[in-house]
Amino acid sequence: MTASKNTILLVDDDPNDILLIKRAFKKTEMPYPVEAVEDGESAKAYLEGKKPYSDRKKHPFPSMVLLDVNMPRISGHELLKWIRGHKDLKELPVVMLTSSKSGADVDKADELGANFYLVKPVKFEEYLELAKAVNLYCSVQLAKPED
């Protein structure tokens, strides 16, 4: 699957976190648009290009996934395992972005193949710093020439 070179898929069940992350990215002039879905089932549909995400002009295939750990129905770990087990998705960069500081969650994310594990900030200023770090990662990772 070909990534759009500029879209980030945010998977998070908390609408406030989605709003804060999008606001921080906008304020730091993140050049990559963020598409957000609120659960693992929607993320699977998005990544596979199934309805209601089948129009890739409206819902481009992402270059990166920002993934919460604690979500209903399908946890972030389960979704990460599914992504890494899917032949067309296994190379997709996945950054765990969660409120969990649990060593077990960090270890499991690492074991399942997460590229990074970041703990969600508490203050908006910290969200801005997180957005800058993600932007830097994207500028390096997404600038790589495609094979």
Return d(Cα 89, Cα 16) in angstroms, integer. Answer: 28
- Contact (CB, 8 A) for 64 and 97: no
pTM of this structure: 0.90
Query: 66-99: per-residue pLDDT in tens?
Result: 999 999 889 999 999 999 999 999 999 999 999 9
Q: What is the mean pLDDT of the chain?
A: 90
- Which pLDDT belongs to residue 5? 58
* Domains along the sequence of the chain with CATH: 8-141 (3.40.50.2300)
Q: What pLDDT was estimated at residue 50?
A: 96
92/44 Cα distance (integer angstroms): 13
Peptide bond into 52 cis (omega under 30): yes
Name residues whose C-beta falls within 8 Å of residue 34's C-beta, 6 or more positions apart in sequence.
7, 8, 9, 10, 21, 22, 25, 66
Q: What is the pLDDT of residues 107-143, one digit of tens each?
A: 999 999 999 999 999 899 999 999 998 888 887 776 6
3-state secondary structure of 23: helix
Query: Which string of DSSP letters, residue by residue, matches 83-127?
Result: HHHSTTTTTS-EEEEES---HHHHHHHHHHT-SEEEEPPSSHHHH
In 3-state terms the chain splits into helix, strand, coil percentages (rounded to 5) of 40, 15, 45
